[in-house]
Chain A
């Protein structure tokens, strides 16, 4: 219990340090926000243009697709906000030997990695995600009951954990090859498949994004519950199981990696 309190206090200190740096460079913050905001908005504009031409996409309406799209952005944004430093580990920290300092401090290594940075750019994704969600609710595409709010929160957290697990796993490869950025990029980009219903893909792609890099569980499956197509157990329940399993795999791999870590030295 004391340990948790100590970590909580440390996180607050580190985050407040970080917030100060944001306040110092407001323009950068705003530009980053705009960048990610635009990237996501273009995907929506694409859907609008396409639906000028077709009534529905294999039975999915435009409203439903927009809901899935928006739903996918929120776990992505949450993960992006809190664990962006994992990218630094995979690209530079191991090869530059910066990782040494995490190993020397008497604290959990993963905790140190994620608390070093908050990524405010992620607010662009969260903004788009929530805007689309509110739009969907106001249009009556999805009906939210009181209990659903809880399920929604659970699903968002589980989704973010899946993202973090994938990132952590592929970043950990750096402990052996020194730089794993490209691997991580490939894996992370698989998430783009999950913005649309997985039925449109071929079998092989569907298998890949469901069982190997499980991004289908982040958005498409749980969104199915809120669209009233499947039961909570089969969607959000499955998402949680996947999140836990992949987290355990990724975290043990990371732990194993830190034991194998050899400083690149200087």
Chain B
């Protein structure tokens, strides 16, 4: 364990430092992505204003405010792309260097991802989160989130992060077959924003599609942690959704190992 940490911790801390170095650009990108949340916020407020009932998709207006901003925080913590770097390494051929080093390439990517998570947690995660709670307590006059919910939320977010990076690692292996990763990334991001509940709570989908989502890993990436944060699960359900996340971590890990073995067999690097 100690050796494991000694090997992979530097990846995480280097990534954190690298992120810190290019602060200016990052602040602007953060602003960009926050715009998206505000568009959502205004849109939802207009939608609730036009609704007859108090609840839409089983969420009240106040819960929707929390949903919009917490899904932003959650996705900034969990949806850390490793496929971009994998793609770059494959296209440039530098993946060969990583294959001959005595480390697990995938673990090194995940460790780097952890570094980014820590950074996103500091900026802007924690600020948006605190801002949201203050808004909730002082403007909406609702009780603040309980410590228990925060704890379960953080555990769930950690699983979500693993599910996402393991999935993204599998996805990134497409780079072995095509060099134009950018277009694939766009398509993936668009689909995932929908399937994970980032764009709209999954409870808005027709029942039969929701059933289908229960059998896919995507709902575990954003929707599950946010619903835990909102305290929508009873203790027994909570165990079930966390268990389901864990199952996906294991399944995607195994799938990734399998695929990686297959593609590296046929890898040919010229130069690099």
Contact residues of A with B, CB < 8 Å?
A: 25, 27-28, 31-36, 38-39, 41-42, 45-46, 49-50, 52-58, 121, 181-183, 185-186, 189-190, 192-193, 196, 199-202, 205
Contacts and interface: CB of A to CB of B under 8 A. Distances in A.
A42 B36 contact: no
A45 B199 CA distance: 10
A153 to B, nearest CB: 29
Contact of A35 (B36, B51, B56, B190): B190
Interface string B172-184: 0000001110111
Given A39-B186, A193-B39, A205-B38, A54 B180 contact: no
Nearest to B179: A28
Given A32-B180, A53-B204, A38 B190 contact: yes
Interface stretch (B41-49, B151-159, B228-236): B41-49
- Interface centre among B29, B38, B46, B47, by most A CB within 10 Å? B46
Given A53-B204, A185-B28, A28 B47 contact: no
A77 to B, nearest CB: 14
B183 A50 contact: no
B50 A58 contact: yes
B194 A181 contact: no
Given A38-B187, A53-B57, A192-B35, A46 B200 contact: yes
Contacts of B268: none
B107 interface: no
Given A35-B183, A35-B186, A53-B51, A42 B194 contact: yes
A31 B25 contact: no
Given A50-B204, A196-B43, A45 B194 contact: yes
A187 B194 CA distance: 24
B143 interface: no
Contacts of A181: 25
A28 B35 contact: no
A217 to B, nearest CB: 18
A265 to B, nearest CB: 22
Where chain B touches its partner, the secondary structure class is helix
A181 B25 CA distance: 8
A192 B32 CA distance: 11
Interface of B: 24-25, 28-29, 31-32, 35-36, 38-39, 42-43, 45-47, 49-52, 56-57, 178-180, 182-187, 189-191, 193-194, 199-200, 204-206
Contacts of A192: 35-36, 39
B47 A42 contact: no
A27 B178 CA distance: 8
A114 B52 CA distance: 50
28 contacts: A25-B180, A28-B178, A32-B180, A34-B187, A35-B182, A35-B183, A36-B186, A39-B187, A39-B189, A42-B194, A42-B199, A45-B194, A52-B204, A52-B206, A53-B204, A54-B56, A57-B47, A57-B50, A121-B183, A182-B25, A185-B32, A189-B35, A189-B36, A190-B35, A193-B39, A199-B46, A200-B43, A200-B46
A207 to B, nearest CB: 14
Contact of B32 (A27, A46, A189, A199): A189
Contacts of B42: 200-202, 205
B199 A35 contact: no
Nearest to A195: B39
Contacts of B205: 49
Contacts of B49: 58
B180 A28 contact: yes
B186 A56 contact: no
Contacts of A32: 180, 182-183, 186
Contacts of A54: 47, 50-52, 56
Contacts of A38: 186-187, 190-191
Contact of B183 (A34, A55, A182, A185): A34
Given A45-B194, A54-B51, A183 B28 contact: yes
A55 B160 CA distance: 35
A201 B24 CA distance: 28
A202 B47 CA distance: 14
A57 B46 contact: yes
Given A49-B205, A196-B43, A202-B42, A31 B35 contact: no
Contacts of A53: 47, 51, 56-57, 204
A32 B51 CA distance: 38
A46 B199 contact: yes
Contact of A39 (B51, B178, B190): B190
Given A185-B32, A186-B32, A27 B56 contact: no
